[in-house]
Structure 1
Amino acid sequence: MPGGLLRDPRAAAGLAIVAAVALAAIAAPLLAPADPDAPDFLALMAPPSAAHLFGTDDLGRDVLSRVVFGARASVQVGLFSVAGALAVGTLAGLVAGYAGRWTEALIMRTMDVLFAFPSILLALVISAVLGPSLPDAVLAIAVVNVPVFARIARAQTLLVRELDFVVAQRGFGYGPGTILLRTVLPNVMAPLVVQASLLFASAIITESYLSFLGLGVQPPTPTWGSMLREAIGFLDQAPWLAWFPGAAIFAAVLGFNLLGDGLRDRLDPRDAA
């Protein structure tokens, strides 16, 4: 699998970008040239230079350091929200697809209600009700993405449950739980993994929206969205305050989308053909 991905230029580029974002998130204290919250009143809104490669903001804080530390919030929100949505949505889709009848109707109608709302709007409503914080942003984004995984898992389960080896297991007396976890789940994971990589990019954008509107991670923790919000008032005097966090969001989203496309080509024979 990794070797195949590396032979695909798009996937290799995406993997390199994702690795860089992950490295920035994990090793931010080692990579950042300065404390992201330390002001320097002698270098207020200094343009990019050798001393500050990305310049400084209105408080003299090093923008490069804040961009590097901002990767932490994006990666945390993306990882935990997508993992939570994947777990809940996959379980719901497996049960709905295998059980059928009223169980399927109840689960999928619930998913349809959630899916009926625009994802950004639903995330905004949940964040506004729960309050602005990292855990609440994770929960809001996870709830938005649960129906996506549930629909995919249900559709795949409907196909797998009629295959001969699943029918044989039912004939030998295996229970639904055993069949779902040991047989059906491994056979439906490929499209779910691809969707998870694509929704990671969506989660980063949604977190940036929430932070931009003040409903995500709160200051003084730097996030790319909050940096863009702070840059609005200084676009004429210091445009670099918006350039670099915006470029970070663009690069991260591009990386996960390229990686997702590569995974889809590798895991889905129909697309690969």
Structure 2
Amino acid sequence: MKQSELTLIFLKAGMQTTVQDQGRAGLQHLGVPIGGALDKRSAELANYLVGNKQQTPVLEITMMGPEILFDTDALVAVTGAQFDIYIDNKIVKNEEAFHVKSGTIVRFGQLNYGCRAYMAVAGKWNAKKWKGSASPILQAAEATPDSIIKKGSKLKIESAHLNKNGTLDKNTSTPPLANKIRLKVKPGPEFENISRTAIAKFFGQGHLITQDANRMGYRLKTELTALEEKKEMISSGIIPGTVQLTSSGQPIILLNDAQTTGGYPRIVNITDKDLDQIAQLKPGDEIWFSLE
């Protein structure tokens, strides 16, 4: 297997481009968020296409993509959100591995569907890790200085010209992207404390995502009746996919970079198998909930 050092040089950073891997499981009791790729399936499929191991970092590209100069030949794949992707001025396909020649610029153009794309590059990524992960903690960026991409950032990879795995078949490809989805949930610890009127409204209508949407969580536009009885709550553990109900009655979906404890009622938890879909939603998209 031939290897050479590759440097990705970011001529433009995009809206929010970060290095992400599988995150930091097992440290929540210390107040450390799990982090990691929001759409884990798409990240894993990108690595699969270029022959990398699942835990190899990828670029998570949100809404508006970067422009990247490659100083060495490389094998690349992009999955998740559907962008127009160009090698210099030639468009390439999503969900297929493609070769990039030395001196080539890869550019992300128009976003057609979804919210977050994942770009894998074959080889060993040399981004600095903290507690076993290269995923950034946005509140403490100094822990992983290579992982929040800015204009002029340089990312080094021991590029491996592996045999690509080709395109994704119908059994491995990502599900179709949509701006209206239904998510399966399980009752949360405070589910029984919520008024039946609020519960009926929660499951009986769609919920629009507000502009307050990021890797920490999505605030929904709906306003529900709050608790049956207002009880003092101690701060309790939360996980990605927990839906809390604020004192004003607005649901918030907590995601990978959220705090590890919270004081709002935990109304439901989104099932693990449906979590990846949330990563592809953006403000204005609509969510419906169903009990599993």
TM-score, normalising length from structure 2? 0.23
Greater helix fraction, Structure 1 or Structure 2: 1
TM-score, normalising length from structure 1? 0.24
Greater strand fraction, Structure 1 or Structure 2: 2
Bigger Rg, structure 1 or 2: 1
